[in-house]
Amino acid sequence: MSDFVYDYHCHSTASDGALTPTELVHRAAAAGVNSFALTDHDTVAGLAEAEAAAKALGMEFISGVELSVGWANSEFHLVGLGMNVQQPRFAELIAQQQAARKARAKTMGERLNKACGTTDAYEQACALAGTDAPGRPFFAEWLVATNAARDQEHAFNRFLKPGRSAFVKTPWVNLGEAIKVIRGSGGEAVLAHPTRYRLTRMKLRRLLAEFCTLGGKGIEVALPRLSQAQEQLMYDCLEEFPLYASGGTDFHHPQQTWLTLGRLPKLKEGTPFIRALLQQ
């Protein structure tokens, strides 16, 4: 039997990834992944294609999504794994998130037009995304193409991040409701990349305490490029809270040359792993 190699956090062209679901699954298989979840932002549009590709290769496939959620006036990312996405309440949640994304994109476009003296920021971002609800990376791409920014990072710093002129606060689903809908659809909720929110240790513990009370079960621990201190923090959280570890590369495109699908730090012996919950 070959080694178990998983990746439970990746993006396809259904959201802001560069590869189609099929291309992504093939790339994962080539990297040795045999248990895979596609987790596009607020959409499940890529799952059917990814699942068909995975099954054809004999790869375990877990349905996934990465939801933007609100908690304590800030935005967090919640990965849902193992849902039945046909479940009506889940489908409704996805429709709400898409509507919020679309309204946000239109407002972002208006603000960027004002800032840049252009008229078609929204339409251009739609064309780059191939959807009518483009996320910020596509506006950043357009800003770079029009020479309003040097690169993605500059575009975010100049226009798109919180506090900047084109940042639009979005009415995302709240954390508790998102967890309820994921669990009600047979899935489990995982807090994505906990170290990326720049929370104090105190605030992270407050978030996780509430997350657990609300029915959240997982945190991403196996992540590429965590510092030793960050990794230790994640294991401290696993000690303190009744949580299961998950992990993934957050792969978006092959230009992320530092990422290989499924290449994650090995979890320490005895760490509870989210897959155990998904099979019940």
CB of 88 to Mn ion, least distance (A): 26
Tokens (6 digits) for 198: 């720049």
Residue 250 within binding range of Mn ion, rule CB under 5 A: yes
Selected range binding Mn ion among 10-18, 45-53, 180-188, 265-273, rule: CB under 5 A: 10-18
| Residues of span 182-241 touching Mn ion by CB under 5 A | 192
First vs last Cα of the chain: how many Å apart?
Answer: 23
For position 77 contacting Mn ion by CB under 5 A, the verdict is: yes
Q: Which of residues 32-71 bind Mn ion (CB under 5 A)?
A: 66
The number of angstroms, rounded, from the C-alpha of 255 to the middle of its chain's C-alpha atoms is 18
Q: What is the largest CA-CA distance in the chain?
A: 60
Q: Which of 7, 16, 141, 220 binds Mn ion (CB under 5 A)?
A: 16
Q: Which residue is nearest to Mn ion (CB)?
A: 77
Site membership for Mn ion, residue 141 (CB under 5 A): no
Residue nearer to Mn ion on the CB measure, 5 or 223: 223
Contact window for Mn ion (CB under 5 A) among 16-24, 124-132, 138-146, 150-158: 16-24
Binding residues for Mn ion, rule: CB under 5 A, are 16, 66, 77, 192, 250
